[in-house]
Amino acid sequence: DEAIKKSMPFYGKKVMVTAGPTYEAIDPVRFIGNHSSGKMGFALADELARLGADVTLIAGPTAQKSDQNVIRKDVVSAQQMFEACNSVFPETDITVMCAAVADYRPKTVAANKIKKQDSNLILELEKTVDILATLGQAKKADQILVGFALETNDEENYAKGKLEKKNLDLVVLNSLNDKGAGFKSDTNKITIFNRALERTVFEMKSKTDVAKDICSAILKIAK
């Protein structure tokens, strides 16, 4: 009932989560994608909803099922994810960008299936919009913005750089060097940096438990 709802930590908070990969079309039958399973973002959306938030999940193509308490908007490309995020963001209190957004897309999408030729095929790629950086610029003082950083090397410096460059409140470092962490796995190992660049290192855990840790870190800085 209402009293129980009001006692929940994220009660009354509008939260946006992005999850999964994006697919960038090459022609009608092919795309450039990545190995993101969407598991981490979906676990986060579920946990935030369980803790009382009004959650909108912007999901790239995945096989994941979302909680019935989560409002879900499915998108395919980085551009579509950008447009969906832009329309939801002004109303949100907390945004967590977990999606593995493509950095590049084919400059032109062939109208017909590209036929195989004797020579090599060269695809020209252009940059997509950095959704998180754009939201970081638009962010109001009472909005919280959380980004992820997926790194294979010099990870802490790159993660801190992303926090500052994209104007984030927290960055969640996901190191692909840790066995059992990353894309397809059911477990993850994260390190969180706050704006003061203070570091919290977490153990390897299930993505559900990692989601709980991220929610606690958000609650610590919640406005």
**Per-position DSSP letters for 74-103, written without gaps between them:** E--SHHHHHHHHHHHGGG-SEEEE--B--S
Binding to Ca ion (CB under 5 A) within 92-111 occurs at 103
Decide: is 161 part of the binding site for Ca ion (CB under 5 A): no
Instruction: Consult the annotation and say whether 103 binds a ligand.
Output: yes
Contact window for ligand CTP (CB under 6 A) among 34-42, 46-54, 63-71, 144-152: 144-152
Size of the site for Ca ion (CB under 5 A): 1
Binding to ligand CTP (CB under 6 A) within 74-133 occurs at 78, 97, 99, 101, 103, 128-132
Q: Which x/- pattern over 64-93 shows residues binding Ca ion (rule: CB under 5 A)?
A: ------------------------------
Look at residue 162 and give the partner it binds from ligand CTP, Ca ion, none, a contact being a CB closer than 5 to 8 Å depending on partner kind. ligand CTP
Roughly what angle, to the nearest 10 degrees, separates helices 131-138 and 78-88? 20
Decide: is 42 part of the binding site for ligand CTP (CB under 6 A): no
Q: Specify whether 69 is catalytic.
A: no
Distance CA 125, CA 108 (A): 8
Q: Residues 92, 46, 60, 142: what is their CA dihedral angle, to the nearest 10 degrees?
A: 20
Task: Work out which of 10, 31, 89, 148 binds ligand CTP, going by CB under 6 A.
Answer: 148
Radius of gyration of the chain (CA): 18
Distance CA 173, CA 154 (A): 11
Label residue 122 exposed, middle or buried (CB < 10 Å: 0-12, 13-18, 19+).
exposed
C-beta of 200: minimal distance to ligand CTP in Å? 18
E strands, 111-154, are 125-127, 144-151
Distance CA 193, CA 182 (A): 18
Size of the site for ligand CTP (CB under 6 A): 15
Instruction: Consult the annotation and say whether 113 binds a ligand.
Output: yes
Q: Which x/- pattern over 159-188 shows residues binding ligand CTP (rule: CB under 6 A)?
A: ---x--------------------------
Residue 207 phi, psi dihedral angles, 5° rounding: -65, -30
Query: Residues with catalytic annotation?
Result: 34
Residues contributing to the site for ligand CTP (CB under 6 A): 78, 97, 99, 101, 103, 128-132, 147-150, 162
Binding site, annotated residues for CTP: 103, 113, 148, 162, 166
